[in-house]
A and B are shown apart, each in its own frame.
Chain A
Amino acid sequence: DVKVTQSSRYLVKRTGEKVFLECVQDMDHENMFWYRQDPGLGLRLIYFSYDVKMKEKGDIPEGYSVSREKKERFSLILESASTNQTSMYLCASSPTSGSSPYNEQFFGPGTRLTVL
């Protein structure tokens, strides 16, 4: 069974802290994504990675950075957490369109982050 896992289901941090959210997939997918989900706004793409060490900004990259040192792992970093980053964070993966034109994404369970 395909799987995307995220390191924490719930996380509470203080303003100004550096926060790491980890995502691991076991499907050998090339693409990995970080989304932020807020009520009424749906899913908004923060960053996208299409290969190891490769990344592309999404719609709302400000205040975030990412790291992909291994194919299966994609990390989201909040350099200095702020209260407006309190949200649900979802990680997803998909095969590259070169191997499969059907770009279905597989999601992890999400991390609910609260910044106090």
Chain B
Amino acid sequence: AQSVTQPDIHITVSEGASLELRCNYSYGATPYLFWYVQSPGQGLQLLLKYFSGDTLVQGIKGFEAEFKRSQSSFNLRKPSVHWSDAAEYFCAVGNFGNEKLTFGTGTRLTIIP
């Protein structure tokens, strides 16, 4: 069975600093990987996704993520965070032919001035 681990429950970053949110997955074949963001009181919005090809994926709002098969990781990065990036971030994994996704438990991001 596939699983996703987000080891950081809560991260605090200063505005303008760089950000990396960790995601590790467990799945035998090549996974489909997603990062979603949830602003307070809102639903989830897709930031980016990886299916195949270039392992560095660009997303919306200046985010990127890198797929590292050897480490079973799909970490989310942003070079300079803005106060509006404060939200909860979810990593998810799927696979070909499976209609369902498995979500991590989320990482809450706080931005300090």
Contacts and interface: CB of A to CB of B under 8 A. Distances in A.
Given A4-B43, A94-B99, A102 B90 contact: no
A40 B9 contact: yes
Interface string A74-116: 0000000000000000101010110001111111111010000
Interface stretch (A11-19, A43-51, A64-72): A43-51
B26 interface: no
Interface size class of A (residues with CB under 8 A): 20 to 34
Contacts of B49: 102, 104
A25 interface: no
Interface stretch (B16-24, B67-75, B103-111): B103-111
Contacts of B90: 42-43
29 contacts: A31-B99, A33-B100, A40-B9, A41-B105, A42-B104, A42-B105, A43-B44, A48-B100, A50-B99, A90-B43, A90-B44, A94-B99, A97-B98, A97-B99, A101-B96, A101-B97, A103-B94, A103-B99, A104-B34, A104-B46, A104-B49, A105-B101, A107-B36, A108-B43, A109-B43, A110-B41, A110-B42, A110-B43, A112-B41
